[in-house]
Structure 1
């Protein structure tokens, strides 16, 4: 067992520009970790001061994977933990199923599990087999089949691509006319998953798994999303949902996942059951808010790296908690600009209660966000 002063080496590899990942290095630093980043240039996460060293790759996913492989071959014993930051890379890894070096990288025990976590189709199919509480879904390969199952399920319903993030490739369909329209929009890239629509409040859970065991998590309702209810959350309400633990255990058993992830779920307004929507097998945006629910993701990671006896951190939200409502940065600012409600930008004045998600302690990251916000605002307002 390592002593409490040990410095652990973490490797993050990412290809896509993920907002949530850019806040994770601070959580890792609090675990007394040094963080090495492999990525293309100019991603948000590259601007974080909590990155100890950077290895820049071309803006080509194949070359990013090649760089990762070469680096690990040269540093085979260096890293205590590897974090894959996006589904695009996980998809590339599934193509390299016979390469032994991947075992040090993927967050699941084997390639079969990797295919499950990186495919909405496979994940839902396998989740239904083990009776996880999840809305009925069926994979369709033709418009005729889509219409057939739409008749069985009824409108509204949901259609999805196999791999997508932040709500891209997901549509809520209210009529047969919309169904055909969205089918042809998505079919150019993939087969289509058609799923029962559940009316209720949508939520998300940030979670840290250790070999399929959820050891730290907290949950929140997604109150406002961009560009729609299927998109990224901009405002949340932290809540206390004891029943979420069973969903997390089911996801862990199904995937054997290790590391930072998240699940999306919905509280069914008809039967008040929490129902699983999907699993995000990569870091999501809000681990740094865990302390509001009295959980500590840095501590969970540290205990895992030190191979300590697992201590489950279940969230607890005291009654009348003042900080349960959260505006996320920069997601909420993007929504304000998109809606052209500029007056609401005042809630992001530093040190206001509503602006606590500003990364004021990570100046490079903050400046990059502000520069992108200025460009976004200019492009929106000039239209």
Structure 2
């Protein structure tokens, strides 16, 4: 992402590609292997057994996960949970959970609804209210990444004073229900989390440091940027696979890659991937630097990269011919993943509307 750390990123990318390539889309890269590789604790402070890195390094891993169509709880547990915990006021419980993620003993998930109609959620999906029984939690969030496998839930909620907070709860707590939601994309899991009057202890309410509204919006931006990274990796995989196939598949006694129409199609795919890479890198840099205006770069990356991924995967299916429509070919895996990426955490149209709001 930056010239100073390009060698580090190249090494990280090579290791991730080897490990995830061994897993493949039909076999998940285990959480233990991910934790042992150090990816889970990339953004965890070094004092808490992490690497003290930034989102730029996380983006490298996310891209490779998209390239391999990997099935893992990395987005929910490492990207969103670590990001959310780093935004909280320091306290022993927070530090213990961060250390648990870095060492692989904890697998939490942040309950952000993936089916938001806007670019990012404008307010938390849950709310806390006071009652004679204490604090009660109400709310509902659908298509939450990795919620089904999570051992802990971090639920964004509006406190009685109107400030966004995080509620630390177990998935089997009374009043909280987690149900699996089927997806067309078989490489990932998603769940619906509902809370109907769940009693919450005061110490389970975690406060954001600084401006809580800005912190909650930043969490939504991290989710959108993570999906954009995944879409970029998937696009690159489809481009590479299609170019390789066009070089060996023959028709009329010559490789189909020698036909002008196929060359033009591959060139169009290459341009889309190149532009998406620039936008995703800009978003990762802005988030890593804590830029207050990073939301613009994030929405640009999310809107373009996810739409481009669907186009690239669709073109890959066409250029693979009949093989592109077979189950064994594997192109369908990336097409379905790209279609889910396009919808998660704001559609391209929603993010374009968000960008356009700067001029109103």
TM-score by length of 2: 0.30
More strand by share: 1
More helix by share: 2
TM-score by length of 1: 0.29
